[in-house]
Structure 1
Amino acid sequence: MTYSIFSVPNKIIHGDGAMDFLSTLDGDRAVIVTGGNSMKRGGFLDDAKAFLEKAGLEVEIIDGVEPDPSLKTCLAGGKKMEEFGPQWIIALGGGSAMDAAKLMWVFYEHPGYDFQKLANFDNPPLGDKAKMICIPSTSGTASEITAFSVITDTEAEIKYPLVHPDFVPYAALLDAKIPATMPPRITAQTGMDVMTHAVEAYVSTNADDYTDPLAIRAIRLVFGYLKKAFDKGDDMEARVKMHDASTLAGMAFSNCSLGIVHSMAHKIGGIFHLTHGEANAIMLPYVIDYNRKETNRYDELEKILGIDDIAEEIRKLNASVGLTASIQEGQNTVIKEEDFLAHLDVMAENAFKDACTLTNPRQTSPEDIKKIYECAYYGKKVDF
């Protein structure tokens, strides 16, 4: 019998004022890794810096992390950390900032480490020089709670899902005031990322009695509160519930992994920059229809939730928050048919090789994944 490990951050600080925790840290230096200007405009970057300085830490800011964090950005950030020498790495922002901070941490503690070793899960130990704290600005990726980081090699046009047990942060700080600033479109995309995490965790071949309750609760919360958060951004009850759902789903999938929805989203996102949450939202119903031919886990989930067809309910939820039923219809990222077809074989092959494919409930192939991509692009029924 093979044993399993259930791992979450040492501390999860949640609720109004969670960022105050930064003022309790010991050390000399801290670096804040963040993305664009949203954290600065909202005052959250200044707040984080002020709390760290209150603790007596010198603070350096590494900003400008792009939406799909690149290997180049992470190498540069690791070099800056090496020069500054922080004891704390504070990731403030969406999944991109948190994912980038994790890889920067590797290059800080192990300068010159071969990225391809990480891509093949040959992981060096972390924590000798610094600890990480994550403060998510979106209710979606759950990178604040997970052992995952998704990094794009822009030259190869491939998104790599990295998995390292030491990526699980020392602490996650969850304050719903921060994601309450998200506009509706991003609320929808990140919210459906949560749904995909939870559903894929529930049907994962590594799911167990520790991960199932977390996945189920996250699914209930998304069905109950995503539309409310989308319709009324200042509905703080909805924002808190979606932030909780994101973290709960993250606790589940970080410990049992995911499936081919994520494999496929990683690869189409790496080439076409289709937003990860939107790619998941579109493809999730198609993959459910494909997978359920070899698992009864969706049937179990429908009984628990009191619904007839979870794929159909997800399609309805997508439509209610402005997400299209097919890739071809996409308005936020337009992918021309000729471009899609030109990259289809490579995407399918690379998705099949993705780490998330290993725990998909139906054994698959590049040929099947290609067919699912086609169904999701054209809006055709999956019947194979």
Structure 2
Amino acid sequence: MTTAIVAPRQMLVGGGSLSRAGDLLRQLGLTRPLVVTDPWMVRSGTVDKLLTPLRAAGLAPEVFSDTVPDPTDTVVEAGAALLRDGRFDVLVGFGGGSPMDTAKAMAILAAAPEGARMREFKVPFAADRGALPIVCVPTTAGTGSEATRFTVITDAERDEKMLIAGLGALPLAAIVDYELTFTVPSRITADTGIDSLTHALEAFVSRRANPVSDMYAREAMRLIGPRLRDVWRRPDDAKAREDMMLGATLAGLAFSNASVALVHGMSRPIGAHFHVPHGLSNAMLLPAVTEFGLNSALPRYAEAARCMGVASGADADQVAGSRLLEELRALNRELEVPSPAAWGIEEARWNALVPTMAEQALASGSPANNPRVPDAGEIVDLYGRAFRG
């Protein structure tokens, strides 16, 4: 069987690698960058860490900073309109998952006829065309978007988070500089860290896993598992930050080539309807969903526990699987992950939307990759179990 593996053409990885941003673009023959970022990056001056090396290389970058935490199709449409006059030859996504996903979606939409809507590109459509190449620079250790062929965009009219997949969303290059994560707040550090762990775990147990994605996922779990608590407790721990950043990118490579599964399928509707940050909604669901699928892929979950360092090779698979569940619950407690109820979601509104969220989760396709494929009723039950934690 042939497996198609995708990855950026070039990746600069390591502390201080951002200083080579201008040289990287010039090496790729790109000279007219539009930097896609968020308002905080501009207000705080953080974006200057990217603009300075670009200008030092003789480039004249422009900035689009109208992105929002859950990227919407309306923001993407505004950004794509900027690209149609031909002023730019590359998009540089700088920030967390939202600016990177926005840049990807802008490239895809700008390649379509004017008037096209983002919803036309959601899976199962193959979004393989992009108007411009994309270079991604993550500032959090979490989404892995710098290495994936995916972007997630909210349909503002329908309150639906749309999964968009294809080569048009695959970055041409990425700069992975862990030094950008030192100032990330603790809540975001925890949420994006659990997000990256979820990427690696779901890729590893996915029905679409393959030997190459397994290689990425195993190493990602080895790096992330022991370091999540370290970056939470000691934000200035350089080695922990470095391992988490590399782990997040490897997890991105893993799920880009194996796909995510039920956690992500259920997480996206929570974000769309209740505006819970993506990593946090993953964390809310991860223990219950892992328990749901555990015995359908026990050897895989057991190996994941060993990679994370919470079980040994001497432990039977059932023991290792139980220790994995214990670890996921302990992480949520120690990293202060709230349940949806504790986060402030009203139970009546949650219950009213659960049937719609279950339909949207199934429609995304991700639950079909789960070791135990759920029906709508089982997803409704899992939402109920997750509500109070």
Q: Name the TM-score class by shorter chain.
A: over 0.9
CA displacement, residues 156-198 of structure 1 (integer Å, 9 cap, x when unaligned): 0110111112311111101111111101111000000011111
Q: Which residue of structure 1 aligns with residue 314 of structure 2?
A: none
Count of aligned pairs between the two proteins: 372
Once the two structures are TM-superposed, the CA of residue 121 in structure 1 deviates from its matched residue by 3.8
CA displacement, residues 221-249 of structure 1 (integer Å, 9 cap, x when unaligned): 22211111111211111111110110011
Gaps of 5+ in 2: 312-319
The 8 Å contact of residues 223 and 317 in structure 1, kept in 2 or not, is answered as no
Q: Which residue of structure 2 aligns with residue 224 of structure 1?
A: 226
CA displacement, residues 78-104 of structure 1 (integer Å, 9 cap, x when unaligned): 101223521111100000000000011
Normalising by the residue count of structure 2, what TM-score does the alignment of the two structures yield?
0.91
Distance 1:111 1:180, change over 3 A: farther
The 8 Å contact of residues 128 and 169 in structure 2, kept in 1 or not, is answered as no
Q: 2:38 aligns with which of 25, 35, 38?
A: 35
Q: 1:87 aligns with which of 86, 89, 92?
A: 89
Q: 2:342 aligns with which of 329, 343, 368?
A: 329
AA at the equivalent of 1:10: R
Q: Which residue of structure 2 aligns with residue 102 of structure 1?
A: 104
Once the two structures are TM-superposed, the CA of residue 123 in structure 1 deviates from its matched residue by 3.8
2:210 alignment partner, SS class: coil
Q: Which residue of structure 1 aligns with residue 376 of structure 2?
A: 366
Once the two structures are TM-superposed, the CA of residue 365 in structure 1 deviates from its matched residue by 0.7
AA at the equivalent of 1:70: T
Once the two structures are TM-superposed, the CA of residue 355 in structure 1 deviates from its matched residue by 2.4
Q: Which residue of structure 2 aligns with residue 314 of structure 1?
A: 328
Q: Which residue of structure 2 aligns with residue 357 of structure 1?
A: 367
Distance 1:223 1:32, change over 3 A: same
Gaps of 5+ in 1: 380-384
AA at the equivalent of 1:271: H
- Report sequence identity in percent: 33
CA distance in 2, matches of 1:235, 1:301: 25
Once the two structures are TM-superposed, the CA of residue 306 in structure 1 deviates from its matched residue by 5.0
CA distance in 1, matches of 2:310, 2:334: 20
The 8 Å contact of residues 10 and 170 in structure 1, kept in 2 or not, is answered as yes
CA distance in 1, matches of 2:91, 2:70: 20
CA distance in 2, matches of 1:253, 1:159: 18
2:182 alignment partner, SS class: helix
Once the two structures are TM-superposed, the CA of residue 321 in structure 1 deviates from its matched residue by 1.4
Once the two structures are TM-superposed, the CA of residue 75 in structure 1 deviates from its matched residue by 0.4
CA distance in 1, matches of 2:50, 2:252: 23
Distance 1:306 1:17, change over 3 A: closer
Q: Which residue of structure 1 aligns with residue 288 of structure 2?
A: 286
Q: Which residue of structure 1 aligns with residue 212 of structure 2?
A: 210
CA distance in 1, matches of 2:40, 2:364: 32
Once the two structures are TM-superposed, the CA of residue 40 in structure 1 deviates from its matched residue by 4.7
2:143 alignment partner, SS class: coil
CA distance in 1, matches of 2:72, 2:118: 12
2:12 alignment partner, SS class: strand
Once the two structures are TM-superposed, the CA of residue 49 in structure 1 deviates from its matched residue by 1.8
CA displacement, residues 88-136 of structure 1 (integer Å, 9 cap, x when unaligned): 1110000000000001112223243342331134345435x53211000
AA at the equivalent of 2:351: L
CA displacement, residues 311-361 of structure 1 (integer Å, 9 cap, x when unaligned): 11011112111113x32223xxx1010110111110111111112122111
2:179 alignment partner, SS class: coil
Describe how 1:170-189 pairs up with structure 2 within 5 A.
170-189=172-191
CA distance in 2, matches of 1:133, 1:88: 7
CA distance in 2, matches of 1:17, 1:222: 21
Q: Which residue of structure 2 aligns with residue 72 of structure 1?
A: 74
Q: Which residue of structure 2 aligns with residue 196 of structure 1?
A: 198
CA distance in 1, matches of 2:221, 2:279: 15
CA distance in 2, matches of 1:91, 1:214: 23
Distance 1:175 1:303, change over 3 A: closer
Describe how 1:148-187 pairs up with structure 2 within 5 A.
148-187=150-189
The 8 Å contact of residues 22 and 56 in structure 2, kept in 1 or not, is answered as yes
Q: Which residue of structure 2 aligns with residue 115 of structure 1?
A: 118
Once the two structures are TM-superposed, the CA of residue 44 in structure 1 deviates from its matched residue by 3.4
CA distance in 1, matches of 2:251, 2:378: 27
Q: Which residue of structure 2 aligns with residue 22 of structure 1?
A: 21
The 8 Å contact of residues 204 and 259 in structure 1, kept in 2 or not, is answered as yes
CA distance in 2, matches of 1:196, 1:216: 12
CA distance in 2, matches of 1:27, 1:74: 22
CA distance in 1, matches of 2:123, 2:293: 26
CA displacement, residues 201-232 of structure 1 (integer Å, 9 cap, x when unaligned): 11000112111122122222222111111112
